[in-house]
Amino acid sequence: MDKEPLRQRIIEQLAADLELFLQAARAAHEAATNAENLPDNEYETLALEASYVAQGQANRAQEIRMALESYKALELRPFGDGEPIRLGALVTLEGEDGRFRTVLIGPEAGGLKVFDGNREIIVITPSSPLGQELLGRIEGDQVTTGVGDTMRDYEIIAVG
């Protein structure tokens, strides 16, 4: 399977998210520095609160920027039969309920959802619980992930 279109969708989505957070950071910065928001007394904290929001938005934008650079540099090569799962693998899992789930093991941006036609692909990182379970496994292996009552068993159906 050619994973390049998938990588491009991730890059496009991260770039859009980055622009959104940069705009939000600029708006919060403007609110923090606006003369109308300067406090008249020690109990008026609108400017201070806006500065905290601006810093949080800027921090998130930096995280997205780093993820974007990681995906631009990521080489997604195909996996051969019996080759162990590692970074860049596109893994199809079948749950005990018979439902299929496809994940891409990416360097960052865990939880990001992209679509390949009608199929939803969720980005997971090697440090996530499922990512840790999948690394080094091969097609046909069984994995279990979750905590307590949320434990789920999956079979690795395909690795690409």
The token pair at 79 is 């996996």
The Cα angle at residue 129 between residues 128 and 131, in degrees rounded to 5: 60
Domain count, the chain: 2
Q: Which domain covers residue 66, as residue numbers?
A: 4-73
In this predicted model, what pLDDT tens digit does every residue of 78-128 receive, in sequence order?
Answer: 898 899 999 999 999 999 999 999 999 999 999 999 998 889 999 999 999
Question: CATH no. for residue 107?
Answer: 3.10.50.30
Mean local confidence (pLDDT), 43-60: 81
Q: Are residues 61 and 103 in the same domain?
A: no
